[in-house]
Amino acid sequence: MRVTGNTLTWTPQKWRRQEEQRLQLLDLALKILVPAFLLLCLVAALKFGSFDGYLQLLSKQSFTTPLLALGAIFTLALLAFQVVRTVLWWRYRPYTPPAGPLPLVTVIIPAYNEGAMVEKSIYSVAASDYPHDRLEVIVIDDGSRDDTWDYIDRARKRYPRLIRAIRFPRNRGKKEGLYAGFTQGRGEFFVTIDSDSVITPDTIRQVVAPMLVDPRVGAVAGNVKVFNRLRSLMARMLAVRFVLAFDFLRASQSMYGAVTCTPGALSAYRRSALLPILEDWRRQTFLGLPATIGEDRALTNFVLRQGFYTVYQRSALVYTVVPETYKGLCKMYLRWDRSNFRESWVQLNFLFTRYRRQDRVLPVIDFFLTELEFPLTYLFLGLLVAACFAYPLLMLKFIAGLGVFTLVWMYYYIQQERDLEFIYGILYSYFAFFFLNWVRPYAFITLRNGRWLTR
């Protein structure tokens, strides 16, 4: 089996064995070469003085000009808040599902040109340990042009009392599919799952637990893992990246109830937090155009603005298909970054209001450090590139320092996952620096482009 983008195709057994053997050899080589490279980086960093720059942030020389002072102050603030995030992440604990009767839950799975993968997604829900008499599953075929409907219909016939299938005659977009599920579902809580994702048997019970325990919680983000992590080098790198980007960040944000994005791969919502804002969310526009992408981040903002908390549930696991090619990855990041720019502006409009009684300070600090990181990073990145032309040795110092600094960042992954896959996170750091730094600036200057790109 080979997963490419959102499609899943079958290949000859011989090819699969060869591919698995190739990846096993690559894995073995990397687990030898990457630690050796890191050791070399450490030696080079000590020899070239790559760490001196951080120590100089506290010296008077870092404040001799406005530009240097800006860089020093921002870097120190970012490092200080990283310490705060680390403490919050360390203190985070997932919610324990309460005993007693379980509420009616509606699971919504929108699908478009998903093929066989949608059936896997549906069956993973059907295999849930959540009582079927307290569960309904609504699957929406958003005008697929392939055989997606055949797989949905087969699953519906297998579980006629559990699954309700809706078929749009033409493609309307993921938001419309979710809207149909939200308006037709009977559940007290809604769980949304992407059609290229599968869940574990206890995921539904886990993902609604925070809302059963705390009435302030209006939305819950699940723990997103990579389904096809063993199929390519790209997927393995993203598997580590997801732990750092999703688990670390959302666990720390969860401690003050302001997870900024409840992901499409797996999220849960309180019915009373959705119904008042559904029409506004459905008809949202930006720069005069319909907001067609980033529906999950947008929905999170609508929930937060009402005063509800949004939290993370680490024990609610979902495994999703990620791109295996550079082109596919860039398209995914472009879509994410465009929607993040849009929703950051939306968030700014209510961040300083009394949208809730408490826990408003840390979201403000988090917001500004995150948003300022974009322009300041590219400002100093440009200065770094210019300086490297004049002083080539500076690039060697930077590469050495990046390797050691990334290893420190990998502590979070090692602490959480306790395996040697962190080496792929090291590779991702260099890959992202040299090949993905163009994505965010391009996303910013093409904000009006609302195409899905990967569908």
Q: What is the C-alpha R_g of the chain?
A: 23
Q: What sign has the CA pseudo-torsion 446, 244, 129, 99? A: negative
Backbone angles phi, psi at 348, to 5 degrees: -60, -30
pLDDT tens-digit readout, 59-78: 666 667 787 677 778 878 88
Count of domains in the chain?
Answer: 1
Distance between first and last Cα of the chain = 21
**pLDDT, tens digit, 9 for 90 and up, residues 70-124:** 777 887 888 889 899 999 999 999 999 999 899 999 999 999 999 999 999 999 9
* Per-residue confidence band for 310, with pLDDT thresholds at 50, 70 and 90: very high
How many other C-beta atoms are found inside a 10 Å radius of the C-beta of residue 268? 30
The CATH number linked to 71 is 3.90.550.10
Give the range of the structural domain holding residue 178, as residue numbers without chain letter.
Answer: 1-455
Entry pTM? 0.87
Helix intervals (H) in 2-146: 13-48, 52-55, 66-91, 117-126
Letter string b/e over residues 206-217, b meaning 16 or more CB atoms within 10 A of that residue's CB: bbbbbbbeeebb
Which residue do the tokens 């699971």 mark?
A: 107
Residue 277 has pLDDT above 70, yes or no: yes
What is the distance between the alpha carbons of residues 194 and 263, in angstroms, rounded to a whole number? 9
Beta strands in 55-196 (DSSP E): 105-111, 135-141, 163-167, 189-193
| Cβ pair 409, 82 in contact under 8 A | no
Q: What's the full length of the chain, in residues?
A: 455
Q: What is the pLDDT of residue 22?
A: 67
* pLDDT at residue 421 in the model: 87
pLDDT band with cut points at 50, 70 and 90 for residue 380 = confident
Q: What was the pLDDT predicted at 340?
A: 95
Q: Is the pLDDT of residue 222 over 90?
A: yes
Please give the Cα distance from 412 to 268 (Å, whole number). 26
